[in-house]
Each structure stands twice: as structure tokens, then as C-alpha cells.
Chain A
Amino acid sequence: MLSVRNVTTQLDGFRLDNVSFDVGNGDYFVLLGPSGAGKSVLVEVLAGITGVRGGAILLDGKDVTHARPQHRGMATLFQEPSLFPHLTVARNIGYGLHGTRMSRRDFHERVHDLAKDVGVSHLLSRYPGTLSGGEVQRVALARCLAVSPGCLLLDEPLVALDSAARVAMRALLRDVKRMGLTVVHVTHDFEEAVSLASHVGILEGGRLVQAGTSREVFRCPKTPFAAQFIGFRNCFAGYLLQGPTGGVAEFDAGGCVFRVATSSPTSRGYVVLRVRDVTVTRALLAVNGYNVLEGTVTDVIPAPFGDEVVADIGVEITATAPRGDTASPGIERGERVWVSFEPDDAVFIKDSNAFSTPDVAGGLHGSERRQD
């Protein structure tokens, strides 16, 4: 188990501030964050390449906060290709096995087994300069696995790959997950997190703003930043006007009011919604319990699985017009449309700085407050 306790450090303008999380044995922990959030610094801190100013790092109960990288029992797969260019693929994979007092035969067997596991058996005698980006990262992964690390650190390992190589590498990382290895994987890619994580943390400006199982985090983001980062592209600031009535409250987003499934008391806060959970149609859909709001289309964005439509319903909301929907083909700018979504799909996030008593007079206006 990896325990990170109040770790603080600073490196070249990037700062980590009191970061704490636990990664259980066999968990695949994905740390999500935008560029500059401190993800790579955190990996370097865990790997021992960068020192800490405060806090502690424990691996399987052993304090490794100030241990040298080679004594930590962690292996790191870096974002940029880091295979040793002067060594063949086989020697790269076996690099960490030197000094393990393994017999020559076991050494070769281990290298061949790992190469087979990651699908690079045919490349063993090649030099890294002749490999594709995907092959390089596979070899780098095999090299990390060779040392049987207590924790595998992955620093945006897919970022430099093309889409086909990325899919293949993700499949390989899912195999690693199934092996039961403890993994910390940092990325800015929400889809990468969805496809791999058992647990997720969200890093913002060097602070961990949320951590939990992937289900918890993806279903109930705790901050608007976290919500937007994990795909809730609609975010409205406003007030929860009315206490829970059968688990449903009304939310005043400034320009419009809609229903939200929440048991939260009256409070200032935010409502977030995924684009895919909001539907736009020309005709009025009368579905019981749904929020159905009329608005004007301000933009239409082509997307792979149906156009995304931005509509002004008092605040701007982005919805999906499913492709092949005969009721609403080719919605255009300026049209009047109906936007609908379920209260269950809207997530209320209480403003952590707000008092419970609403200050309706100082009303927020959704589109303006979104930038708060």
C-alpha cells in the first residue's frame, strides 16, 4: 500500500501543497489534472527524483520519504521516451535485473517472458531508435515490470502516442491492472482515467481536490473544477432554493430554474451536467419529472455521435442532438428548441465558502458566475 501524507514541495514554479492519498495494494490510482497542476512533480516526488519539503511517503508501511530512488521499490514509466538508446531492447528490459544475483538463464527467461507479455518478442535485438512510439512505451513498461516494483508510477505514458498505439497501450495497462500491481498513473486525459482507474484523484493547482473510487468521483464531483475536468461540461452557479422534497430541490441558475435530485440543504453552489445527459429537440417532450426548458440555439458543434447544440435557456447549456433523430434533424442557429434532462443527472455541488442561508438578492447569473 502506498500512503502519501501531507506532501509539500516546490520545483521550477510548480508546487504541491499538502497532498495526501492512499493507494491500496493492487489499486490502479489515476491522478487527473490539467497541465501545470503538478502531476509530473508528484511522480518525481514519489520516485524520489525530487525531494519533499514536508510530509511523508510510505510504501507497504516503510517510510521512503527520503530514500534514494533506487531504494524505493518503485519504477517509473515516463511521458517522454526514456529507453536507453545505446542498449538493445533486450538489454533495456534486463537493465534493472543486473545485481539481482539471478542466474544467466533465469535472466534471459525473464526478459523473454516480459517481452512476450508486452508483445515485443520480435524486437529484442533492435535498438530503441528503430522502434515506433508505441513499441518504445511497451518496452519501457516491460523494463519497469522486470524489477517487480512495489508501486508502478506512470507519468502520462500515452501522451506521445497516436490513437491506435494508445488503444493498444491502454489494453496493456488493463492487463497490468489485472496483474494486481499497485499503480499510480497521472494524466490529463479523462477518458484514460475512465478506462483504467479503480480509484481517481483530481489535482488542481498543486492540491488534491478530490480522491475516491472512480465511481464516486465520476458520479459525485466535489468541486466545479473536478466536475468540468471529468466531463461535466455544463456548470451553473446559483442557489439551491428549496429544501429537499422527496429528494428533489429547485436550483436557481440566475436566468432559469430547474430541478435537481439532491438531499443538500438550501445553499449557494453549482449544478453540473454531462452533455450526453441533456437532450435537445424541436418538439416539446412531455416526460414526467424531467426538466424541460425552452431556449434559442446559439451554436451547433459537429461531434462524432450527434451534433452538440448550445442553447440559451436563460443560461447557456450544451446538449446533444442525437444523430439520426428524425424529430430534430439539422438543428440550426437561432432556432427555438426544447432542452430536457433528468434531475437525477444533475449533480449539485455545495459552494464550500457559502453559508446555508441563501442570499437570493445577490443572485448569481449562470454564464457569468461560471468563471468564478
Chain B
Amino acid sequence: MPRTRFVADPLHLMFAALGGLVLLFIVAPLASMVIHTPVADLARTAADDEMRRSVWLTLWSALLATLLLSVFSIPFAYLLARKPFPGKRLVLAIVDLPIVIPHSAAGVALLGVLSRDSLIGGTAERIGIQFVGGAPGIVAAMAFVSVPFLVNAARDGFAAVPERYEKAARSLGASSLRVFMTIAIPLAWRSILSGLVLMWARGMSEFGAVVMVAYHPMITPVFIYERFGAWGLRYARPASVLFLGVCLLVFIAARLLARGRAHAER
């Protein structure tokens, strides 16, 4: 059987070439960093307690920020997807605000409400929660800068679920809560999971806001910055490569989880 001959569109070829440059722009610095890092340095850094602590702190702080905010953000995203209300455009703009403001400015803003002189910070400190210079502050900073990714992804996911499924469920006697839990969430699940992964990943990579609120205990991005500032590029590289690996592993695991679930439903 003769093979179908593929005739490439010159315009598409040009777009592919442009896309290749974008990919090169992303991959080249990362590849260079990996290539220029000796394995011995990697092993030494991996064995460093301070590095390990920073990685664990980064992972669980970002995870906690994601899980805590998901409790509020997912229902909120559903509301944004389903209900028209006055001022909705303003609300959507507010949701996107953390993406557009400089993260150091976000850190300064957070300090204003979390420092021990503020109402929230002062009250929290009285019950033993220390935001400034503590893990709760790191969680808050990570949550602040990354929550738009979850809200927007979940909102898009809910909006893509045809309303007729929810109408059908309600006509079968399901309460609004049951419709939300058994129809809307499962059908928007992939987008929600994608939002959760993005939020987690964004939280893990945050530096600017975190460093303003809590330089110590050090999360890995701060640890890398500290290494770079104190000892130079050679000492910052192994930590960067190791953290890059951790981030990729988390990202791949989450994607596999999402894909596995999609296969199960098919």
C-alpha cells in the first residue's frame, strides 16, 4: 500500500523552526548546568544535611500551601465558572494579581499582614504560630504567589463540564453539594489536578516572596542563592541540579497519576 506523501507547509516549517529556538532557549541553560556539574559535587551536595533539610522543607511547604488553599480555591473556582455575578471581572483580575506583581513586592505586602506588629501576625504569634522567619510564613508566601494557577486551572476545568450533567443529577434528586462532589469535581478532575501540580511546582520554585518573609529556615531556592552569594557558581550548581531533578520527579509523578486516573475511567 503506497504511503501517503506528507507535503509540508512552508509556513508551518518556519513556525517549527521558531518553536525549536524557543525549546533551545529553555533546554540549553538547563542542559549546560547539568553537563557542567561533576557527579562528585552532586553526591557531596546530596549528602549535605542542610541541602536535604531545605529540599524537604520546600516540598512539604509547597504541598501544604497547595492543600490548604485547595480547600478554598476549588469551590471558589466552581463559583467563578458557573455563576455570573456583579463585579466578576474585578474578582477575576484580583485572582490574577499575584502573577503580575513582583514577588519581592508580594513578600513586602505579606510582611505587612504577617509580621508580629500586625493583627494577624500578632494574634498568630500569641497562639504559637510564627510567620516571619518560620515555616508558616514560607507556606503563606508560597500560597500567595501560586494560588492563581490553581484557581484558573480549576475554573477552566469546571467551565468545560457541560451543565447538563449537573442538571440531570439535580433532577435525579441530588443536592447541590452532592452534584459538586460527585459530578463537577470528578469531571473537572484533570484540570484541578493540573492546577494542583502547577501550584505545587510554582510554590516550590518561589524565591522572592519567601526570602522577604522567611530567609530562615532555608527553602532550596534560598539555599541555592545563599551558596551562590557565599561561594559562587560552582557551589550553587550541584544544589540547582539536584533541585531540578526533584522538581522533575514530582512533576512526572503527578502527570502519571493524572494519566492513570484518566485510563481507569476510559
Whether chains A and B associate is yes
Q: Residues of A at under 8 Å CB distance from B? A: 44, 47-49, 68-70, 72, 74-76, 78, 80, 82, 84-86, 95-96, 98-99, 127, 129, 140, 143-144, 146-147, 153
Q: Does B19 sit at the interface, judged by CB under 8 A?
A: no
- Residues of chain A within 8 A of B171, CB atoms compared: 47-49, 69-70, 72, 74-76, 144, 153
Contact code string B147-187 (vs A, CB < 8 Å = 1, else 0): 00000000000000010110111111111001000110011
Bound: A74/B167 CA distance, A: 12
- What range describes how many residues of B lie at the interface? 10 to 19
Say if the beta carbon of B266 comes within 8 Å of chain A.
Answer: yes
A75 touching B186, Cβ below 8 Å: no
5 A-B residue pairs with Cβ-Cβ distance under 8 Å, sorted by A, are A76-B168, A84-B165, A86-B186, A140-B168, A143-B168
Query: Which residues of chain A are within 8 angstroms of B265 by Cβ–Cβ distance?
Result: 85-86, 127
Chain B nearest CB from A77 CB (Å) reads 8
Is A82 touching B173 in the complex (CB atoms < 8 A)?
Answer: no
Shortest A147–chain B CB gap in Å is: 6
CA–CA, A99 and B171, complex, Å: 14
Contact of B168 among A48, A82, A86, A127 (CB under 8 A): A82
Listed from nearest, the 9 A-B pairs whose CB atoms lie closest are: A96-B172, A69-B170, A76-B171, A82-B168, A82-B164, A86-B186, A70-B173, A47-B171, A86-B265
**With A and B bound together, what is the CA distance between A280 and B231 in angstroms?**
104
Q: Check B167 against A99 for contact (C-beta < 8 Å).
A: no
User: When the two chains form the complex, which single residue of A80, A84, A99, A127 contacts B173, counting CB atoms closer than 8 Å?
Assistant: A99
B266 near A82: Cβ-Cβ < 8 Å: no
Query: What's the least CB distance linking B11 to chain A, in Å?
Result: 36
Q: Which residues of A contact B175 (CB under 8 A)?
A: 70
**How many angstroms from the CA of A82 to the CA of B183 in the assembled complex?**
11
- Report B-chain residues with C-beta under 8 Å of the C-beta of A85: 165, 187, 265
Selected contact of B183 from candidates A69, A70, A72, A84, CB within 8 Å: A84
Which residues of chain B are within 8 angstroms of A68 by Cβ–Cβ distance? 170
A147 contacts which of B172, B178, B183 (Cβ < 8 Å)?
B172
* Residues of A contacting B165 in the complex (Cβ-Cβ under 8 angstroms): 82, 84-85
Within the complex, the shortest CB–CB distance from A185 to chain B, in Å, comes to 15
Expressed in whole angstroms, the minimum distance between the Cβ of B166 and any Cβ of chain A is 9
